[in-house]
Amino acid sequence: MTQNSFKDISLNAEALTPQPEAVLRAMGYRDTDIPGQLQDLLQPILTEALSHLRIRCAWQLFEPDELLFSRKMLRLREQDFHIQSIIASQIRSCDRIALFVCTLGPDFDDWIRSLNDASDTLPAYVADTVGSEWVENAADQLCAELQTSLNASGLKITNRFSPGYCGWSVKEQHALFSFFPPKICGITLTESALMQPLKSVSGLIGVGPEAVKKDYFCSICDAEDCYKRR
Amino acid sequence: MKLDPQEILKQLARTVEFGKINVQTPYPPEMKGQEGAAELTLKALESGLNPEAVLQRGLMPGMQAVGDKFSRGEAFIPNMLIAAKAMNAAMEHLRPLFEGGDMTYRGTLILGTVQGDMHDIGKNLVKMVMQGDGWKVLDLGVNVKGETFLQALKEHPDAVVGMSALLTTTMLFMEENIRILRNFRPDVRVFIGGAAVSSEFAESIHADGCFRDPHSFARSFH
């Protein structure tokens, strides 16, 4: 698959450090008591995590003549993405698409594995949650960088959408990654479409003069058990 | 002052519920300086209680309490991990007595994340909760092929099997794994879990059940 030129950048991990409150919310703590063991563990985990991070991301922008939008599908060159109606409705106003990947790097996975191998699983769980928040922050920063690069041309972006969510099959990770060089940002895909390193995010972003980014769109999706529904 | 055995068990349950491992544990603040699960387990044994009674009437009620809070959305995975750590500290004193022949396990659970899937947080939590509930757990790890589940079942033919998958791609291996296991032992009970699966999916692949949380899974055998 021919690639357009793509941006491949490293991000400042420290600037993307999750807020402790966000990590606790991700674990479920909103109005309930937080165990002292957890409160005292969180900041040391956040601090140590920094030494295991090498955040990299990449995106590629596709022009209007490479795209065809329909009610449940996006055709990008000869590749059909069955994004389903929720995502399709969010990018309908766009005339361009960016595909992106983002990762915390392999050292973070190794660190969590080492915590899991020790007898105390709480630090491993906390580190795992911290990692999930961190990679989401990194993907948000990627979106900000993309928007900055488009400002001069008056183009705006939508929210980002990933395979495995909002009805878009995770199997289509393979199709998404086919638009990037092998091992883009050090990310590989297993046969079952699992990204490795595990703390990686990929997806698409709608781009166009009429693109709209929403604060919260979980209300229009029926996946009740999705961990992103907060 | 010598404590009544029932009072010891009651306190023991609280130490498990709140993760008070031993006297040095500074949590929760209201129990600082008090004996923890380790000390109270020894005290319970010294009072004349047998290991099975200490487990069933002291430790498990503590895990049950945090599990009930988890089901109500008042406690979350860290609470369960903290309680399990206190439980394990207590079990360090009981396990040698059980392995000497005093304990009957509730059953054997063969547990693994299916092939192609590397997620293990949920599986590890199930392992801790089920161990805390008196099960012998054989953890096969992650990326486990059907043949590996089968080999474990051949070695433990009366075991229950639990399979976990986080992805819609990897959960598809569960059906084939169930077929492999039931070819060997038609009445083997197989349960599934993980973010990708549902009760409908479990029914469609002839699994015996699907549970959203480890506590519900443990309680289903009571």
DSSP notation for B45-100: HHTT--HHHHIIIIIHHHHHHHHHHHHTTSS-HHHHHHHHHHHHHHHHHHHHHIII
Residue of B nearest to A25 (CA): B76
Residue B177, chain A, CB below 8 Å: the answer is: no
At residue B165, what is the residue type?
A: A
Distance from C-alpha of B77 to C-alpha of A124, rounded to nearest angstrom: 12
Rounded-to-integer distance, Cα B170 and Cα B215, Å: 24
Look-up of token digits 């506590």: B215
In whole angstroms, give the CA distance from residue B18 to residue B207.
35
**For residue A160, what pLDDT is reported?**
95
Query: Nearest C-alpha of chain A: how many angstroms from B28?
Result: 7
Cα B77 to chain centroid distance, Å, stands at 13
What residues 24-43 of chain B have any CB closer than 8 A to a CB of chain A? Answer: 26-29
Chain A contacts in chain B segment 108-127 (CB below 8 A): 115-121, 124-125
Residue that has been written with the tokens 């109005």 in this structure: A31
Q: A230 pLDDT exceeds 50? A: no
Average pLDDT value over all residues in chain A: 91
| Range name among A202-206, B89-93, B99-103, B158-162 with the lowest pLDDT average | B99-103
- The bridge status of strand A79-81 relative to strand A188-189 is unpaired
Burial A177-192 (b: 16+ CB within 10 A, else e): bebbeeebbebebbeb
- Strand arrangement, sheet containing A56-62: A6-10, A56-62, A96-103, A200-208, A156-161
The mean per-residue pLDDT over the stretch B93-120 comes to 83
Q: Which residue does chain B place closest to A228, by CA atoms?
A: B195
pTM above 0.90, yes or no: no
B85–A120 C-beta distance less than 8 A: yes
Backbone angles phi, psi at B147, to 5 degrees: -65, -30
Per-residue confidence (pLDDT) for residue A59, from 0 to 100:
96
Angstrom distance (rounded) from CA B88 to CA B109: 18
Mutate to test the interface with A, among B92, B119, B168 (most CBs of A within 10 A): B168
**pLDDT(B102) > 60:** no
Q: Specify whether the CB–CB gap between A98 and A39 falls below 8 A.
A: no
User: Which phi and psi angles does A181 have, rounded to 5°?
Assistant: -65, 160
- What's the CA gap between A157 and A144, in Å, rounded? 9
Interface of A with B in 155-174 (CB under 8 A): 164, 169-171
Q: Do B19 and A128 touch (CB under 8 A)?
A: no
Closest chain A residue by Cα to residue B198 = A225
Neighbours of B48 (CB within 10 A): 8
Contacts of B114 in chain A (CB under 8 A): none
Backbone angles phi, psi at A18, to 5 degrees: -65, 145
A224 vs B58, which has greater pLDDT? B58
ipTM of the complex in this document: 0.88
Could you give phi then psi for residue B137, rounded to 5 degrees? -115, 125
Q: How far is A36 from chain B (nearest CA, A)?
A: 6
Query: Beta strands B135-139 and B107-113: pairing type?
Result: parallel
Work out the minimum CA distance from B118 to partner chain A, whole angstroms.
Answer: 8
| pLDDT over threshold 70, residue A11 | yes
Lowest mean pLDDT among A114-118, A165-169, B35-39, B106-110: A114-118
Predicted pLDDT of residue B71: 84
Angle at B130 between CA B71 and CA B117, to 5 degrees: 90
Between CA B65 and CA B129 the distance in angstroms is 12
B65 in reach of chain A (CB within 8 A): no
Least confident of A68-72, A99-103, B167-171: B167-171
Return the amino acid letter for B4: D
pLDDT digits (tens, 9 = 90+) for A169-211: 999 999 999 999 999 999 999 988 989 999 999 999 999 999 9
Contact A170 B167 (CB under 8 A): yes
A199 CA to centre of own chain: 9
Helices A20-27 & A36-49, crossing angle to 10 degrees?
120
B128 with A121: Cβ contact below 8 A: yes
The predicted structure's pLDDT at residue A49: 97
Q: What mean pLDDT comes out for the span A77-99?
A: 94
